[in-house]
């Protein structure tokens, strides 16, 4: 099976260009990488993956950020805003209270537009230029639209975004708006937006930059490279587990691809591969359902709801890539309540790390899995926090302390300070 961790060296097809091609994950059909615009397999409609004749080793990487890993990417350079190279924070209090050997937070909210989507867009927009397409488009729960708008404008291209009306956090719409995207608010959920934008793309109206686009996932692969390099430098060993929030499961697929390529390159032993552990909100947990039931396919949830709007997704398009990733790495998936998400958001904030609700799902999921004994106390774990606190100021304000009104004089302020803070949570 092509998505196996122990897949052999690939045969390079005739349509490869510079040792790079697109391959269907189901039927194995191959396509030239930049010949035509295509997002799925012409033969069977399944997902495509970018494949390479050779995989680089850690020694081949140089520079900083996403393009440090250009030897593992389909292009040498991209439309960049200096994305990647995000911090991997220590969180001693959280590490102790969750009770694992080591816990690090990979804060993807520190990317230029405040989410990991930038890593995908720097590659995706560059590929769009290579293909010579006109308009770029995406459906989005918010962050993809912010990244597309920013990278599209950096590349001098027109952008169109479809958002579920009333379900996108304020910071994200503001970004898409100021960076000049045409914003269509759809009277439906994210999955409906994606259905429509896929139709538009197939009719040639726009180039699709959702994570269905295999080139975007190449950029997101670099999260895995960064985490593994950092753990190796700090602990002399790779992490035992990587925990991440799951929406469309693009990141889960991208991390798994990074691991497979490092195994192929001989940099990572099969038994060193971190356990991929996905976390969803209880109200939008189709991947968790599939993992729990041992199902090969994910059942689309029509009605999804959670405060973590970035992962309010009922039909994770990358499930066929992500399910093997979770299974082959001995990982798992779990769902958490909105209350647990908010508590984790506060816990992270208490370590000085500001994240949006979806991001905190990783930490909430880790806490729960540790409490259930599925994660063990001797594990070294990296949790991904996917987006910045300022993306969703309303959620942050609701989870935090309320401001206290005081009079404009020192005595009045002192009197307030002396009294019990009635608004503290
Ligand atoms: C896009 C996004 C996710 C979901 O990532 P997938 O790759 O679609 O699973 C999670 N958190 C945030 C903040 C996001 O923007
Ligand atoms: Zn196919």
Give the pLDDT band (50/70/90) at residue 423.
Answer: low
Whose Cα sits closest to atom 14 in ligand 1? 310
Taking only the tens place, the pLDDT of each residue in 201-251 is: 999 999 999 999 999 999 999 999 999 999 999 999 999 999 999 999 999
156 within 8 A of 134, measured Cβ to Cβ: no
H helical segments located in 306-356: 319-328, 338-349
H helix or E strand, kind and range, residue 388 = none
Q: Which domains does the chain possess?
A: 88-114+217-399 (3.40.50.1100), 117-212 (3.40.50.1100)
> Can you tell me the distance from the alpha carbon of 238 to that of 272, in angstroms, rounded to the nearest whole number?
7
Q: Is the CB of 320 under 6 A from ligand 1?
A: no
How would you label 209-225 residue by residue, b for 16+ Cβ within 10 Å and e otherwise? bbbbbbbbbbbbbbbbb
38 alpha carbon – ligand 2 mean position (Å): 12
> Can you tell me the distance from the alpha carbon of 277 to that of 367, in angstroms, rounded to the nearest whole number?
12
Query: Token digits for 308?
Result: 């973590």
Which residues make beta-bridge pairs with 243?
277, 383
Give the pLDDT band (50/70/90) at residue 420.
Answer: confident
How would you label 94-116 residue by residue, b for 16+ Cβ within 10 Å and e otherwise? bbeebebebbbbbbbbbbbbbbb
281 alpha carbon – ligand 1 mean position (Å): 12
Least confident window among 72-81, 330-339, 413-422:
413-422
pTM for this predicted structure: 0.97
Taking only the tens place, the pLDDT of each residue in 345-396 is: 999 999 999 999 999 999 999 999 999 999 999 999 999 999 999 999 999 9
Place of tokens 């994770």: 316
């Amino acid at each position: 099976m092509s998505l196996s961790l122990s897949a052999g060296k690939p045969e390079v097809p005739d349509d490869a260009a510079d040792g790079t091609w697109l391959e269907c994950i189901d039927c194995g059909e191959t396509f030239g990488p930049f010949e035509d615009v295509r997002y799925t397999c012409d033969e069977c409609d399944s997902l495509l993956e970018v494949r390479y004749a050779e995989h680089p080793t850690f020694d081949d990487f140089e520079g900083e950020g996403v393009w440090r890993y250009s030897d593992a990417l389909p292009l040498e350079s991209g439309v960049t805003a200096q994305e990647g190279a995000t911090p991997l924070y220590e969180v001693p209090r959280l590490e102790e209270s969750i009770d694992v050997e080591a816990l690090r937070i990979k804060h993807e909210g520190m990317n230029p537009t405040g989410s990991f989507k930038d890593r995908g867009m720097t590659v995706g927009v560059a590929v769009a230029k290579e293909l010579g397409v006109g308009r770029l488009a995406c459906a989005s729960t918010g962050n993809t639209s912010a990244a597309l708008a920013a990278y599209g404008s950096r590349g001098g291209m027109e952008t169109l975004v479809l958002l579920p009306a009333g379900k996108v956090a304020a910071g994200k719409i503001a970004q898409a708006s100021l960076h000049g995207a045409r914003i269509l608010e759809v009277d439906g959920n994210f999955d409906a937006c994606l259905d429509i934008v896929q139709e538009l793309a197939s009719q040639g109206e726009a180039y699709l930059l959702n994570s269905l686009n295999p080139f975007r996932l190449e950029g997101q692969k670099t999260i895995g490279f960064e985490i593994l390099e950092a753990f190796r430098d700090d602990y002399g060993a790779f992490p035992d587990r990587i925990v991440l929030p799951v929406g469309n499961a693009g990141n889960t697929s991208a991390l798994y691809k990074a691991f497979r390529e490092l195994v192929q390159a001989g940099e990572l032993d099969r038994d060193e591969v971190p356990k991929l552990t996905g976390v969803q909100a209880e109200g939008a947990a189709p991947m968790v359902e599939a993992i729990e039931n041992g199902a090969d396919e994910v059942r689309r949830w029509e009605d999804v709801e959670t405060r973590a709007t970035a992962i309010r997704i009922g039909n994770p398009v990358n499930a066929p890539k992500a399910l093997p990733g979770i299974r082959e790495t001995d990982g798992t998936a779990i769902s958490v309540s909105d209350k647990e998400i908010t508590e984790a958001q506060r816990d992270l904030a208490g370590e000085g790390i500001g994240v949006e609700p979806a991001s905190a799902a990783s930490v909430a999921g880790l806490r729960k899995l540790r409490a259930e004994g599925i994660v063990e106390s001797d594990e070294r774990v990296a949790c991904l926090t996917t987006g910045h606190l300022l993306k969703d100021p309303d959620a942050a304000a609701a989870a935090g302390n309320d401001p206290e009104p005081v009079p404009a004089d020192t005595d009045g302020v002192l009197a307030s300070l002396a009294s019990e803070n009635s608004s503290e949570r």
